[in-house]
Amino acid sequence: MASKSFKASRSSLSISSDAGDSAHHRPPLPPTVTFGRRTSSGRYVSYSRDDLDSELGSGEFMNYTVHIPPTPDNQPMDGPMDPSISQKVEEQYVSNSLFTGGFNSVTRAHLMDKVIESEASHPQMAGAKGSSCAILGCDAKVMSDERGADILPCECDFKICRDCYLDAVKTGGGICPGCKEQYKALDLDEMAVENGRPLPLPPPAGMSKMERRLSLMKSTKSVLMRSQTGDFDHNRWLFETRGTYGYGNAIWPKDGGFGNGNGKDDEVSEPQELVSKPWRPLTRKLKIPAAVLSPYRLLIFIRMVALGLFLAWRVMNKNEDAIWLWGMSVVCEIWFAFSWLLDQLPKLCPVNRSTDLSVLKEKFETPSPNNPTGKSDLPGIDVFVSTADPEKEPPLVTANTILSILAADYPVEKLACYVSDDGGALLTFEAMAEAASFANIWVPFCRKHDIEPRNPESYFNLKRDPYKNKVKPDFVKDRRRVKREYDEFKVRTNGLPDSIRRRSDAYHAREEIKAMKLQRQNRDEEPVEIVKVPKATWMADGTHWPGTWMTPGPEHSKGDHAGIIQVMLKPPSDEPLQGTADDTRLIDLTDVDIRLPLLVYVSREKRPGYDHNKKAGAMNALVRASAIMSNGPFILNLDCDHYIYNSQAMREGMCFMMDRGGDRLCYVQFPQRFEGIDPSDRYANHNTVFFDVNMRALDGLQGPVYVGTGCLFRRIALYGFDPPRSKEHHSGCCSCCFTHRKGRVSVATTPEEHRALRMGDSDDEEMNISLLPKRFGNSSFLIDSIPVAEFQGRPLADHPAVKNGRPPGALTIPRDLLDASTVAEAISVISCWYEDKTEWGNRVGWIYGSVTEDVVTGYRMHNRGWKSVYCVTKRDAFRGTAPINLTDRLHQVLRWATGSVEIFFSRNNALLASPRMKLLQRVAYLNVGIYPFTSIFLIVYCFLPALSLFSGQFIVQTLNVTFLTYLLIITVTLCMLAVLEIKWSGIELEEWWRNEQFWLIGGTSAHLAAVLQGLLKVVAGIEISFTLTSKSGGDDVDDEFADLYTVKWTSLMIPPITIMMTNLIGIAVGFSRTIYSVLPQWSRLLGGVFFSFWVLAHLYPFAKGLMGRRGRTPTIVFVWSGLIAITISLLWVAINPPSGSTEIGGSFQFP
């Protein structure tokens, strides 16, 4: 294997905080990165690239540049080779190289002869097979085009690799080694013209890649007058009236009526374009019918009044016989009323939304004067998939998720997939390579036959008829062949652990033999000692894996390894690449686009002593790496077990981002849907009340919260910028329910790009470019990409109401090709030291410091004035898995609740929110931080029925008519509200009841533990973790829901078990006392028994889960439960023993 060395020291790549204070204030010298390459045959070849310069440089902060000193065999390439060929060849070289580097280490590009044991067939894939070079002593691959066909630069068809070709051009005078004739320049642009593609304008000489991007952006923005095509900028020449948006509310200058210097601005006319073709929105807001929403709001008001009157009556009517029972119940009921209010008020304004994909296609992918070829004008999307441990997150699951992304219905050249492997495992790396190889047949198969879903595991396990609506005669044959290929892919992926282990053992044995031979040669007659060779993990090409080894070693463990970037699938060609009826392929791909999106494997650098911030840190590393490699203005975040179930989900999300006002949306959140849940959904795993009720309601305010996956982000919102026109928008109490007049601030004097990129809370603060390195780090390439991402993420300026828009056709230009310096820069920004003294994790990117980093990240965006929307598609957008085991579910809820407690005790508390956040949105976020504290009062209230039965008293003096009336009103209004919520949200009554049951189960177990954990952490700095201690059951591998019956003991089960046992004993004691009493108090017994049954009914799923499948509950459960219940009973008897026959319980005596 060959390697390139990018030699750079720690001091030359990091930001020096006191650089400005150095002697004489001299700017530091730019760091240098030298390139060198050794082929697998042992021959050394130098490598040359132009310097990477920066547009936004400063003296205080260094720029990461690449400097290659010229050598006799390394001269600037001004020979006959065409630049387009050299760029494409270099991109192929980059895609076949594994880049590594990081803190105080050399950045290297390892040329991979093979990535996996099997052959890579797709021309975009790393290590793709091809012809060998005909030069003697060289075993490299011949250059190839997008189809994998050999690129032969000479008419004699002499096969030559990239390095030998460069040698021939630089040092051989451009003479072909085969025919000894001069190379002729191959003009690819002429071929493009013949194919009907427009030619891009040649960039000026000496201009860097980012300068070309920025110049394009500036040129498209600066065209404010009528251009040669007859189009003009709507934002400049349209003036709104005070009426509502729509046709007739704009003043249009007549043709030639502007820009002629005559000063006549009163001549107006109507454009023929809008007269013949009315403007159509991409999305619509569907309001809930008034027949449902009005009674719903009225019932909320009635219940609020009833709760207020009931609590006032309870406070004024004390129970003198049991003042302690009355006091505890009143305090709990006041808190429950407050908690219900926090949960219910944000539900006043629920909305539904719909998208129109036909309009999206018409606006962005239909030929028009600005886009004659009809090439897609949609912005790019970078998809992030995060995984950390291949043992807990099976690589096959992650591979299926990636295959669903690669096959998504979105322009191939606009889509990029980044896989974050935070464990740095070779198993994940090779599983991703296997997935990339299988995508060669799976993705074209999906496109040819419109397959849904495009996750192969889910598709081949569908229980419905797979041949429904399939009309192509070769579908059955194609499906059978692809199914066989997928089965082989599964077997290869499942066998990777053993394959890697056997390979590593074989190489390790070979290394030991070599070391022993070397030792014997050095020591002729001395006794040979046992040689200890570190047991490394080896890649398929026979080299050490730079990440985590199976036997951890220095710089090769989970918390200590280099940063790794591997382009698994290189960027696709700009134009569609139609397949052919090739006999070598499994299926006929005629007229099917066989291109694959960009796929990149990323494992950020980890070193001891650094806080890597778990998933949030991994996501921020992907944000920076993707900004440098593809810079999609939108980011889709998916967990490794959440795959794309609806291939058009990204288009649905893009409808919101590209619609009028879409530039103020920070993210589009999709609901989470789950597979593999038991039919009864015993533990409310579907969480439908949250996703279909609460989230729809928040959509009517400032937007839903971010829930960690299935979210389409605007990149500049993640960068911490304020929304456009943020000074014009002032939040009101509840803008959806009560209209108010918005104050408008004149921003006409502020440059447009500054209005679009503003970061700061002061009204007078504008974007200061010199401060960006302090916020984002020292990568000038990353800083240069920010305005490009902002511009490309703007909606089309095709309507008078669209502000901050971009001209149509601006995103139809070809992408820049990848080069080695770009990937080297990406390696530098995923290093462990890059975030030092920057705002990453504080204001920029995913926010650090909380277990639930997702909620905090969304809160920060809403706090800056951004909005979000909730996109519920007819066909589920994404699907994933959820734990169906009771203990796993409790630990999941514990983690969420712990994060909420951390939020409450941090500066992210909604009480400290800025004025830009709406009042009801603030109430919703306040509820997120407060809801775990309800567990304290819930535990007490669940014990009250048993205490009432033990004592013979009740929470009220007597069950009079007033109390029963209030109780009836409160209960009936709650049931009616539930029915109306079911009506406007579409959930089922059983799902609502399951949610109520698990609310009590979680509230008496995980929520209480989270509160204790949070208080101990805040007050005493003590961290407690609740872990599994034993396992039992769940041995039936044939049952799909076997895990449902597995009982795993955890300390979280103690409180609900105690509540159940105490209430059951209390019911028995109460009945005994009443029956044997001289003066039976049946009303008090009925009150206690009713509330005890209310508690037990909610805990029924918990009790059923403890029984397992055949009642195999661990003995420890009964031991703890019995001991605690008996202790409480005896303690009560000791405190309040029966005194005689005249008291309640009279002649009854405890044995």
The C-alpha atoms of residue 696 and residue 621 are separated, in whole angstroms, by: 32
Q: Characterize 657-671 residue by residue with b for buried, 16 or more Cβ atoms within 10 angstroms of its Cβ, and e for exposed.
A: bbbbbbbbbbbbbbb
The C-alpha atoms of residue 423 and residue 614 are separated, in whole angstroms, by: 11
- The answer to whether 402 touches 457, Cβ cutoff 8 Å, is no
Alpha helices in 238-322 (DSSP H): 272-276, 290-316
The C-alpha atoms of residue 865 and residue 857 are separated, in whole angstroms, by: 13
- The answer to whether 848 touches 842, Cβ cutoff 8 Å, is yes
- The answer to whether 385 touches 661, Cβ cutoff 8 Å, is no
Handedness of CA 846, 847, 851, 852 (dihedral sign): negative
Single-letter residue type at 936: I
Handedness of CA 788, 790, 793, 797 (dihedral sign): negative
Has 356 been annotated as catalytic? Answer: no
- The answer to whether 649 touches 873, Cβ cutoff 8 Å, is yes
Q: Given phi > 0 = left and psi -120 to 50 = alpha, else beta, which region is 538? A: beta
Kindly state the tokens that stand for 587: 């299926």
Q: Kindly report the backbone phi and psi dihedral angles of residue 743, in degrees, each rounded to the nearest multiple of 5, phi listed first.
A: -75, 140
The C-alpha atoms of residue 91 and residue 87 are separated, in whole angstroms, by: 6
- The answer to whether 200 touches 814, Cβ cutoff 8 Å, is yes
CA distances (Å), origin 1019, targets 608, 905, 934, 962, 1096:
28, 10, 20, 44, 34
Has 574 been annotated as catalytic? Answer: no
Q: How far is CA 859 from the centre of its chain?
A: 16
- The answer to whether 886 touches 1047, Cβ cutoff 8 Å, is yes
- SS3 state at 467: coil
3-state helix, strand, coil in the chain (%, to 5): 45, 10, 45
- Annotated catalytic residue, options 233, 409, 422, 819: 422
Burial class of 1070 by CB neighbour count within 10 A (0 to 12, 13 to 18, 19+): buried
- 144: nearest Cα among 127, 168, 156: 127
Burial class of 195 by CB neighbour count within 10 A (0 to 12, 13 to 18, 19+): exposed
- Annotated catalytic residue, options 163, 560, 854, 1043: 854
Q: For residue 880, give the H/E element and its range.
A: strand 878-881
- The answer to whether 817 touches 666, Cβ cutoff 8 Å, is no
The C-alpha atoms of residue 708 and residue 1061 are separated, in whole angstroms, by: 38
Q: Which residue has the tokens 């599964």?
A: 490
For residue 109, count other CB atoms closer than 10 A to its CB. Answer: 26
CA distances (Å), origin 291, targets 294, 606, 894:
6, 58, 39
HSE-up of residue 379 (Cα within 13 Å, Cβ side): 32
The C-alpha atoms of residue 999 and residue 1084 are separated, in whole angstroms, by: 27
Catalytic (active-site) positions = 422, 854
